[in-house]
Structures are given as structure tokens and as C-alpha cells.
């Protein structure tokens, strides 16, 4: 039996904490990793692991967190923990969601974004094999502060919070991750039997293991890699989690056929798509909504967001592609080129020092260095259309709205503010005048001024 398809699963995500150590006005679970709020990562993983429903327990800035949760997944529900009485109490805040349509209930934490879907699936498989509760644990060299997993073989006898543990129990390095999976039928009764006789006076979710054992239920411990269980309590830990997430994505992309010569210098957004045989040079940043097609090359020190790069296209070095940019197959955007809301058709070249905004560049067109589309008049944006095969001379200013016809040319240094027909050459610049001897006069005058200034300073 496949746990992901044959058993119905509810996932409860705990996201009510205040996160004071983040020193931020933003709720902790909304701090981003790879551009997506931590709670969003957890929700994404839950869905990948087969959750049919997601219930998020909110508390601190409940309305703000609930809105973010709803934006990410409108089918999810939010449940307010009005009092902070511990993690066991928090789970019961979502009791209304624990209905008999579910077989499994998985409890995740909104500030633990690195847990893998395969790990959750494995825990659910244990439920399918007969376990009543599965608790995920990890081993660490420094267990200080973590709840200790007291086991006998695979069986979990109890979880002892650090503050309540004996000296002998504190020597245990197998620690509680806070992630648990329950057989739904027993869950509520177990949670309601948890007491608060501890140093904090709280209802610990971790006590569910011991309560369940007392009821004769099967509770097992499942070991997972430590990095999957890392929680975020401050900005330092947030950076550590970001680092691990980026390492994972680089690793996966390289195994899928993407080349990176210095992978540790490439930063991805959570939704970046890079197809096989693409080449990513060092020092790149990908913002949201970027897609790189197969065989494309992104050269060093480029920044892309909201952009699509076609098959075999070349971007950079030192290029910036802004939202709405589409680079066609084998198109080029070279060094110090910025493109915003630009459609650059197949084979078109914008090789250096240009700004192309709100524009269409036709197939095989060539845009000379220093070309700019003057798309904004202080009130609105206007469109520039450059036809197939057009040649735009160096330092041309295209004052939108304006169209350059198929195979048309513009002379270097022109300011083009009227449409140019196909196959026409447009020239707009003042007539050159050579003033004989004028350079010598200016030079001698400037030298005299310089000497006079120096004499005044020396006096």
C-alpha cells in the first residue's frame, strides 16, 4: 500500500510563535528562504508528501500570517492559538480540522523549512505498517537545549525536554525534531491526556509519546538527517538554512545536467527553472520567476528576475534582465545591457552598454552599443518596435512610441522620434562643422588660466 495515495493525510503546521530573537516586525515564519516564506516551504513540502488538507496554527500577528498562508494555498485553513500554553495546546487549536476523513495527521513546524517530502512519506509509511505515532529524531554533537529521545530499540519510550532531563538523560545525543505523525483515530485522546507538570507549566507535544505508551499504543522513533530538522530562531540560523537550501538546489540542478563552474557563487530563487545543458558562470543572482532554457549560457555577474531565456541564448556578463523580458533562441544580451519588459526575438543581438525597455526587438536585429529606448515621459510608458534584421547604430536614442521597420538602419548618434520605414536609413543629428585653429586657441587660453591659478596659489 502506498501511503501517499491510499491514506488520507492532514498536515498541521505550527506557526504561532513570536520569534523575538529575529528582532523583526515581520512574523518569524514569514521570513523568506530563497524568496519564499518559511511557512510556504513547509506547506509546499506537505503537499508534495501527499497532504490532502493543511491546517496552520497561528498566533503572533495571526491576521498577517493567515493572509500569507491563504495567498499561498487558498484551500488551507488557519486556526488561532489564543493563549501560548505549549506545542500540545497549539496542535489542539486545530482540533476542528482533525476529522474522520483522514487516516494520518502530520505535525510540522513553520520555522523548519528544510524537511523533505520523502522523509514525511517514510513516517507515514510507518503508520501504514501499524505504528500509532512516529516521531522524527536526529543525532547531533551538541544536544544542548533539545528534547532527548529515550528509546528501546526502535520503540520510543519518552521525550524529555532539556530543562526537565536528568544529568544522565542529557548525555543522550538522539534529539527530538518536533515533527510527528499520528494515526488520526488516537490523536485527540492522546493530546487531551497531556499534562503541564513541568518547569514551564506548558502542554508539551513531546509528552504525547509517553502518554501514548501508557495507553498501550505503539510509538516509534525514526532517525533523519540533522539538516532537515534545523529550525530558525534568529538571523544567523536563517542564513544557515538559506545556505543549505541553496546547496541542495545547486546539487540537484547539476545532477540534472546544468553546468556550474563555481556553484557556491550562484544564488537561486525557490522557483528558478534551469533546463539541461544550460551553463551558469560564477556570481549570478536569480530573482523570482526566471526560466532558463536548455543550452543557454548566463555569464558572470548577471542578475535576472521575471525573465525567460530561450534555448541557446547568451546573457551577460554584467547583464540585468528585469521582469517581462523574453529572450528568444540564440538571442544575445551582453555586458552592461539592461532589458525590462522586452521581447528579444531569435538571433537578435544587444551586445553591450544598452537599455531596452518596453520594446520588441525583431529576429536577427543588431542593437549598437549605447542604444537606449526612451520609454518613459514622466507620466507613462511607451512602446518601441524594432523590425526583423534592423541595424541600430551606436548611441541611438529611440524616443517611444516609435517603430523601426524590417531591415531598416539608424545612423550612429541619432535621436529617432518618428517611425522608420523598412529598408530605410534614418539620420537625425546636427551637421558637423570644423572650425580651423579653434582647438589651438582654446588650448592656449586654458593653459594660460592654469598658470595664472598656480601663480596665485604660490604667492
Q: Which residues are catalytic?
A: 352
Cβ contacts of 306-312, under 8 Å, gap ≥ 24: 307/339, 310/346
Give the span between the Cα atoms of 269 and 48, in whole angstroms. 19
Give the span between the Cα atoms of 401 and 373, in whole angstroms. 9
Rounded to 5 degrees, φ, ψ at 198 are -150, 175
Q: Could you tell me what percentage of the chain is helix, strand and coil, using 3-state DSSP and rounding each to the nearest 5?
A: 30, 30, 45
Copy the grid coordinates of residue 6: 491510499
Contact in structure between 227 and 114 (CB atoms under 8 Å): yes
Question: What is the 8-class DSSP label of residue 345?
Answer: -
Contact in structure between 211 and 189 (CB atoms under 8 Å): no
Give the span between the Cα atoms of 28 and 38, in whole angstroms. 8
Pairing of strands 332-335, 314-315: parallel
Give the span between the Cα atoms of 76 and 108, in whole angstroms. 14
Contact in structure between 124 and 4 (CB atoms under 8 Å): yes
Give the span between the Cα atoms of 71 and 56, in whole angstroms. 13
Across the strands, what pairs with 359? 342, 384
Contact in structure between 107 and 176 (CB atoms under 8 Å): no
The count of C-alpha atoms lying within 13 angstroms of the C-alpha of 88, restricted to the half-sphere facing its C-beta, is 22
Contact in structure between 137 and 149 (CB atoms under 8 Å): yes
Contact in structure between 37 and 31 (CB atoms under 8 Å): yes
Euclidean distance between the first and final Cα of the chain, in Å? 99
Rg (CA), the chain: 31
Amino acid at each position: 500500500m502506498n501511503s501517499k495515495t491510499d491514506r488520507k493525510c492532514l498536515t498541521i503546521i505550527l506557526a504561532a510563535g513570536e520569534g523575538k530573537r529575529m528582532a523583526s516586525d515581520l512574523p518569524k515564519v514569514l521570513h523568506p528562504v530563497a524568496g519564499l516564506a518559511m511557512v510556504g516551504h513547509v506547506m509546499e513540502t506537505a503537499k508534495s508528501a501527499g497532504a490532502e488538507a493543511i491546517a496552520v496554527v497561528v498566533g503572533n500577528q495571526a491576521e498577517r500570517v493567515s493572509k500569507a498562508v491563504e495567498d499561498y494555498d487558498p484551500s488551507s485553513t488557519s486556526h488561532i492559538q489564543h493563549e501560548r500554553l505549549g506545542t500540545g495546546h497549539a496542535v489542539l487549536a486545530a482540533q476542528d480540522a482533525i476529522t474522520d476523513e483522514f487516516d494520518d495527521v502530520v505535525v510540522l513546524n513553520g520555522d523548519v523549512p528544510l524537511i523533505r517530502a520523502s522523509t514525511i512519506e517514510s513516517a507515514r509509511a510507518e503508520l501504514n505498517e501499524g505504528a500509532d505515532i512516529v516521531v522524527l529524531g536526529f543525532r547531533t554533537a551538541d544536544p544542548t537545549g533539545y528534547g532527548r529521545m529515550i528509546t528501546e530499540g526502535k520503540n520510543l519510550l519518552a521525550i524529555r525536554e532539556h530543562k526537565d532531563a536528568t544529568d544522565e538523560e542529557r548525555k543522550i545525543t538522539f534529539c527530538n525534531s518536533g515533527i510527528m505523525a499520528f494515526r488520526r483515530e488516537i490523536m485527540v485522546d492522546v493530546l487531551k491526556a497531556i499534562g503541564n507538570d513541568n518547569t514551564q507549566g506548558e502542554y508539551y507535544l513531546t509528552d504525547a509519546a509517553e502518554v501514548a505508551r501508557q495507553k498501550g499504543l505503539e510509538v516509534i522513533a525514526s532517525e533523519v538527517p540533522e539538516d532537515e530538522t534545523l529550525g530558525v530562531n534568529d538571523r544567523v540560523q536563517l542564513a544557515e538554512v538559506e545556505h543549505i537550501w541553496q546547496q541542495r538546489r545547486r546539487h540537484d540542478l547539476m545532477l540534472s545536467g546544468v553546468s556550474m563552474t563555481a556553484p557556491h557563487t550562484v544564488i537561486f530563487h525557490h522557483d528558478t527553472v534551469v533546463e539541461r545543458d544550460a551553463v551558469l558562470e560564477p556570481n549570478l543572482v536569480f530573482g523570482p520567476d526566471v526560466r532558463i532554457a536548455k543550452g543557454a549560457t548566463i555569464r558572470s555577474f548577471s542578475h535576472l528576475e521575471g525573465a525567460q531565456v530561450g534555448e541557446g541564448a547568451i546573457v551577460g556578463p554584467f547583464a540585468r534582465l528585469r521582469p517581462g523580458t523574453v529572450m528568444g533562441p540564440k538571442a544575445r544580451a551582453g555586458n552592461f545591457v539592461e532589458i525590462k519588459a522586452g521581447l528579444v526575438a531569435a538571433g537578435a543581438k544587444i551586445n553591450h552598454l544598452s537599455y531596452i525597455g518596453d520594446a520588441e526587438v525583431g529576429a536577427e536585429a543588431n542593437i549598437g552599443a549605447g542604444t537606449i529606448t526612451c520609454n518613459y515621459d514622466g507620466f507613462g510608458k511607451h512602446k518601441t518596435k524594432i523590425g526583423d534584421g534592423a541595424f541600430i547604430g551606436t548611441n541611438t536614442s529611440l524616443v517611444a512610441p516609435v517603430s523601426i521597420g524590417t531591415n531598416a538602419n539608424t545612423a550612429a548618434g541619432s535621436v529617432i522620434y518618428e517611425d522608420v520605414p523598412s529598408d530605410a536609413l534614418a539620420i537625425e543629428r546636427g551637421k558637423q562643422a570644423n572650425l580651423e585653429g579653434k582647438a589651438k586657441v582654446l588650448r592656449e587660453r586654458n593653459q594660460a588660466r592654469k598658470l595664472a591659478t598656480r601663480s596665485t596659489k604660490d604667492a
